Chain A
Amino acid sequence: MADLLIELFSEEIPARMQKKAREDLKKLVTDGLVEAGLHYAHAEALSTPRRLCLAIEGLSLESPTLREERKGPATSAPEKAIEGFMRSTGLTLEQLEVRDDKKGQVYFAVVEKPGRAAPEIVAEVLEKTIRNFPWPKSMRWGAGSLRWVRPLHSILCILTSEAGAEVVPLDVDGIVSGNTTEGHRFMAPGRFAVSSFDDYAAKLKAAKVVLDSAEREEMIWHEAKTLAFARGLELVEDAGLLAEVAGLVEWPVALLGDIADEFLALPPEVLQTSMKEHQKFFSVKNPKTGRIEGFVTVANRETADHGATILKGNLKVLSARLSDAKFFWEHDLRIVKTEGLEGMGAGLANVTFHNKLGSQAARIERIEALAREIAPLVGASPDLAAEAARVAKADLRSAMVGEFPELQGLMGSYYARAAGLPEAVAVACKGHYSPLGPSDEVPSEPVTVAVALADKIDTLTGFWAIDEKPTGSKDPFALRRAALGVIRLVLSQQFRANLGPLLSEHFVSVDGSRNEAAGGLGGTYTLLVPDASGRKLDVRALDLLSFFHDRLKVHLRDEGIRHDVIDAVLAMPGSDDLTLVVKRAEALSAFLKTEDGGNLIQGFKRANNILSQAEAKDGVEYSFGADAKFAESDEERALFAALDAAEAAIGPAMQAEEFGAAMGAMAALRAPIDAFFEAVQINSDNEIVRRNRLNLLSRIRQICLSVADLTRIEG
């Protein structure tokens, strides 16, 4: 057994790529070694900005000998065939074995592959790994053709056993493997040799390099917290930033600085964003005031002046950045106070949203009209919803959002308050973008909901109208996310609305904008077709509805509702009312999980199959209604009675949207249907009786289908 140590030493690897690179290095090398017949006890990959390292413990010293047998042609086969076999195996005629086979004598090639020594395998696997490493972006350098994330300078590759350490010889485009590495670029320059992983890690630490990113994170977090604590402040947690910063340093040293008083009036989000995005600073909060009053920057070294110069430099950069932010903030506030938030957004008329859909101002007009229409459906005041829609995107013209696009919405809410707008409007400015992702919180404030829905529906109809729908993995305008947003907004508060007419009408206003964008040469686009409920809807609205249905399926599947259950419900009228669809689907899903439910489906399917076959064969539809007077057995009569009772119960229950009750009434059919099939032969010699029974089956089908399209249920 031996231990293998690999270090790939390069110029600075982007922080965001280091984690995946560690995983890839470990996987590619260990997979390669195992595939070549070696085995190992443990492997661990580590990284710093300048090195990727892999330590493997307990590696076998050689691969086992492999014996491979191949059956060839018969000894009596044509010469050409035998020659071909010799060529493919690389053996001479004398080396082939002759064995008896069922059909006579046959040539066999027995090739023994001797085991290979670990160094040979390691060299081969490592070279292949380096040449095929899956960096998200790689580059060439100098005059060479090798690709790596940044120039690769050295390869350390040693096998350490009781006999000592040996370099695994390897040459990748002139980079020859060795047993040396370098310490910290500034604090401990120069190369040194190592003899094992422990030796390597210890010498690196002495050379001011902390090899393990988790250890660096720990150091940064601990130091930063201690610094803040000593000042009675607390560090604002940010795991993403911590991982990134740990990927930028080999020897982390945390330094705490104060934010100058003149900047403390800035919104905390602005301070945090500016410090994080531009400087990779952690924010430090004063628990008493709740304000961000300081920062922690992480340097990559110790200095004789204990970081004083470094901190001074960082403060200077920060103060330049925050001066900009303060300038933007004050500039924006001035505009809002003199011209109002709507005034700030005036310039949106000159900003193109999409060249086929016109300006942002046109889009805002559409959203405003739609928000007004949606407002009563979600319990919001139409006037407030319209006002919020009018100003919700005004902050896109603010200087602050120009600099920090990620603060859109949030700045709008600050500026709305500064402009003295109603609180509901301010809240909508921030919240109308939500929900962004599947786990993002869904807003519940009615005005926000109205604008959020209008915003997303306008986006969807707009891009649908210009045929920019998502295809495969391509969804550049995030339309799937917009549709899921609509679904989650509607479902979160069980809003009731028929999307069909709403979408259909909104296509008309989108077409207006298209016409305008095309300079009045856009023509008309509308094609009205009837939907399942007989309403005349824009054909694009129907297509968009089915997109909503697809997203709804994905959403409900995550909630544990089967896709066939949703299909069964979507086939019913009113499927553009998403809340209704989900209520039905939930009831049906619960019903199918009961014993009665499962069995009823079987009974329904049996009835449906027999009926469909008979209808196909006879070329008629058995929907005349069955007459109880032709019933011959008690079971048949019982079924008539049960169907009457079910029908009487299901109709009103469906009308009242008491789907559980409707399903319950349907479940009561299970026993009579089972008994009926048990006792009665449909195909009677008496044609009248046969037809009556088929009509009876038709009633089963009709009653069951009034609840959901059970033909779509699988199993």
Chain B
Amino acid sequence: MTKPAAPRSFQEIILRLMNYWASKGCAVLQPYDMEVGAGTFHPATTLRALGSRPWAAAYVQPSRRPTDGRYGENPNRLQHYYQYQVLIKPSPPNLQELYLGSLEAIGIDLDLHDIRFVEDDWESPTLGAWGLGWEVWCDGMEVSQFTYFQQVGGHDCKPVSGELTYGLERLAMYVLGIDHVMDMPFNAPEAPIPLRYGDIFRQTEEEYSRHNFDGATTEMLLRHFEDAEAECEHLLAFEAADPNSGKRIVMAHPAYDQCIKASHLFNLLDARGVISVTERQAYIGRVRALAKKCADAFVQTEAGGWTAEVTA
């Protein structure tokens, strides 16, 4: 088999990952339309890792970490970046081989590079989730996170999902041999209008860095946090039987949206520096409580494995 040629742009790497995982049977989803801190927050991972129904999805998720803003100056750090996320349930026995295949697909020659699986257990205190796995090293650089989910929202994952997370910018910079993220070709360098990462994101990194550190109104953020928390609990307090449609409808996803919101608001408050060390733990605990309630609700839905027969 001939080895794939080296990709030449950021988007080519994303497209190759899309094609690769589509060819391995994953549903290629689109990003979730909300601000999240990592690809894991997408309901296609957090919620779908719960319950007994099989699942296989791959998607890009724009992610925001307000405290990582560096005004577009740092070669590796961004407050807005992309993660590529794969979740397969139950985790197939050849998941490591499938993963290595994806590296080859984006032009990493496994005969020349040193790929290592180095212990790194994953835990998300805000999602009440944890798993065991590795960070994957390519020539000493972390290129992915590889996790077997054990618990999400306080629920045991049965069956277990295998989760792969690629930090796209870093991986692409490595594959393309780029030293500063802003210099990375986003589309093909010979395109009529070649665009670099910086052409698209340098200005927004500046604007959002200023917003995250100085601009955002903290009173409003605090208020919205309270609102999101209250709304999440409000939505989950409804009876399952919906009088309008006559159907059984648990509003797990709308409630989870509020949990995501609360989480992002907390991240912004953190970046604004208004959360003390001790308060931090309390806020994380509040988001975790929401995530747990959403997980409880999701397993009461069909997608979460609920069936009328089981409860009858």
Contact = CB atoms under 8 A, between A and B. Distances in A.
B278 interface: yes
B148 A151 contact: yes
Interface string B272-293: 0000111000000000000000
Which of under 10, 10 to 19, 20 to 34, or 35 or more describes the interface residues of A? 35 or more
Interface string A1-35: 00000000001101110000000000000000000
A11 B75 CA distance: 34
Contact of B139 (A49, A141, A309): A309
Interface in B139-167: 139-141, 148, 150, 157-160, 162
B67 to A, nearest CB: 12
Given A11-B117, A15-B119, A317-B140, A141 B91 contact: yes
B101 interface: no
A318 interface: yes
A140 B160 contact: yes
Interface stretch (B40-48, B57-65, B108-116): B108-116
Interface string A326-370: 000000000000000000000000011001000000000000000
Contact of B150 (A140, A151, A352): A140
Contacts of A318: 140
B15 interface: no
A11 B150 contact: no
A303 interface: yes
A557 interface: no
Interface in A514-536: none
B96 interface: yes
Contacts of B246: none
B28 interface: no
Contacts of B76: 320
B20 interface: no
Contacts of A153: 93
A142 interface: yes
The CB with the most chain A CB atoms within 10 A, among B93, B118, B140, B150, is that of: B140
A290 B278 CA distance: 44
A352 B277 contact: yes
Interface stretch (B130-138, B211-219, B223-231, B302-310): B130-138
Interface string B114-127: 11111101000000
B238 interface: no
A341 B159 CA distance: 55
B92 interface: yes
A138 B150 CA distance: 10
A351 B275 CA distance: 11
Contact of A310 (B90, B113, B119, B121): B113
B113 A313 contact: yes
Contacts of B158: 140, 143
B179 to A, nearest CB: 8
Given A14-B119, A137-B121, A305-B112, A297 B131 contact: no
A139 B162 CA distance: 12
Interface string A263-302: 0000000000000000100000000000000000101110
B139 A314 contact: yes
Nearest to A150: B132
Contacts of B157: 140
B132 A352 contact: no
B115 A186 contact: yes
Nearest to A355: B278
A248 interface: yes
Interface in A198-239: none
A163 interface: no
A517 to B, nearest CB: 10
B160 A310 contact: no
A249 B137 CA distance: 12
B140 A352 contact: no
A316 interface: yes
Contacts of B118: 12, 15, 248
Contact of B112 (A12, A14, A310): A310
Given A153-B93, A316-B141, A12 B134 contact: yes
A11 B91 contact: no
Given A139-B148, A186-B111, A186-B115, A279 B140 contact: yes
A620 interface: no
Q: Name the residue among A142, A305, A309, A355 with the largest chain B CB count within 10 angstroms.
A: A142
B141 to A, nearest CB: 4
A142 B139 contact: no
A248 B112 contact: no
Given A150-B132, A313-B141, A314-B139, A142 B75 contact: no
Contact of B138 (A11, A248, A303, A313): A313
The 4 closest A-B pairs by CB, nearest first: A313-B139, A14-B119, A12-B117, A143-B159
Given A15-B118, A279-B140, 6 more contacts: A140-B150, A186-B115, A299-B114, A303-B114, A316-B139, A323-B75
9 contacts: A140-B160, A141-B162, A143-B159, A279-B140, A301-B114, A303-B114, A310-B113, A310-B139, A316-B139
